[in-house]
Amino acid sequence: MIDIKNLHKTFGKVTVLKELNLEIQSKGIFAILGPNGSGKTTLIKSILGMVIPDKGIIKINDTDILKKHEYRNNINYLPQIANFPENLTVSELIQMIKDIRIKKSNDTGLIELFGLQPFLKQKLGNLSGGTKQKVNLVLTFMFDSELIILDEPTTGLDPISLLHLKELIRWEKQKGKTILITSHIMSFVEEISDEIVFLLDGNIHFKGKINELKEQTNQTDLEHAIANILTTEYA
């Protein structure tokens, strides 16, 4: 599905990605983890075409996607911070996105799932952070795409909405989707992910199943396993 070779990116004098190689061929849920400044956001934005790497190759389904845009129609992306037009209502925003995307949408079921019916006529600028995140999730999941990228999807969600998010992610996995997730909530990652990709200083230090990382670091949970990598690398 995703094949990345020798990806390199610098911003000024700072090297963010260092000849990074990554292959994700199977369907499932993959967590992209790493501390702040590790390069995970730049990696995600490179896949989305929002950042152009200095060199390297990114292929999706065996097609080179660098400096192209058509492939984005088959990606659903949830940004960490959604900057919505504050003067639009929730229903107006949803309709606007439906008009832009050339895909069949399923917003009605998602609106009901996240309890957004009472907010449809409200201006986006008047919504709480958690409600905006629910709108963000509806916009992300209402189109049927092979690749789904979720950047910190749990931000601001109440416990019930978090349960619905997990159900939704698992349902998309069952339909054969490839799902990339970034999150700082290790309990969420451990519960939902099939594999993790751990970035540090612009390169990949681990890719595999969580149990493999636990065994490798001799730890019983993901949080301590990640801490063990960081302690070892920065010792």
Q: Which domains does the chain have, with CATH numbers?
A: 27-38+73-194+201-234 (3.40.50.300)
In three-state secondary structure terms, 7 is strand
Question: pLDDT-derived band of residue 53, with 50, 70 and 90 as boundaries?
Answer: very high
Q: Name the pLDDT band for 179 (thresholds 50, 70, 90).
A: very high
pLDDT the model gives residue 234: 56
Whole-number percent of the chain with pLDDT over 70:
99
To the question of pTM greater than 0.85 for the whole model, the response is yes
What pLDDT is attached to residue 82?
A: 80
Instruction: Read off the pLDDT band of 231 (50, 70, 90).
Output: confident
Read off the pLDDT band of 83 (50, 70, 90). confident
- The closest of 62, 85, 65, 88 to 75, measured between CA atoms, is 65
Taking residues 13-18, report their average pLDDT. 94
Instruction: Give the dihedral sign, CA 182/149/212/18.
Output: negative
Region 210-232 average pLDDT: 92
Which is it for the CA torsion 62, 68, 70, 71, positive or negative?
positive
What's the token pair of residue 188?
A: 């969420």
